[in-house]
Amino acid sequence: MSSESSEDAVFKALANTRRRQMLDAIRDTPQTTGALCEAFADMDRCTVMQHLKVLEDAGLVIARREGRERWNHLNAMPIKAIHDRWISQYAGHAMSVLDALNEEMED
């Protein structure tokens, strides 16, 4: 997968509120798919699995099987790559604009 298409997959995955909530749920500790189904009881198991598939395809979730359980682990590296490529560059520019505005107001 090219860098551009992998970034697109990450943005697509992060565009959905429920998927972001799932990532929050596994941020500190991996969760089984069953535990995620319980945590998101308003969705059926099939829907939870579809969201997990999108997250996995984007590289944001790594699933490991242990016996009959499927453990879902957060992989934050794609988010870091997005941050490094997009957010940090624009944040630096925004700060320089604010600094210039602040200096202008002080004069």
| Domain of residue 57, CATH code | 1.10.10.10
Q: Looking at the domain assignment, is residue 91 inside a domain?
A: no
Q: Looking at the domain assignment, is residue 88 inside a domain?
A: no
Give 26-54 pLDDT, tens digit per residue: 999 999 999 999 999 999 999 999 999 99
The percent of residues above 70 in pLDDT, for the chain, comes to: 94
Q: Looking at the domain assignment, is residue 21 inside a domain?
A: yes
Q: Looking at the domain assignment, is residue 89 inside a domain?
A: no
How many domains does one find in the chain?
1
Answering whether pTM is above 0.95, one says no
Q: What is the mean pLDDT of the chain?
A: 90
Q: Is the pLDDT of residue 107 over 80?
A: no
- Closest by CA to 21, choosing from 56, 48, 58, is 48
Q: Looking at the domain assignment, is residue 35 inside a domain?
A: yes
What are the residues whose beta carbons fall under 8 Å from the beta carbon of 32, sequence distance 6 or more?
69, 70, 71, 72
Q: How many whole angstroms separate alpha carbon 31 and alpha carbon 5?
A: 27
Q: Looking at the domain assignment, is residue 20 inside a domain?
A: yes
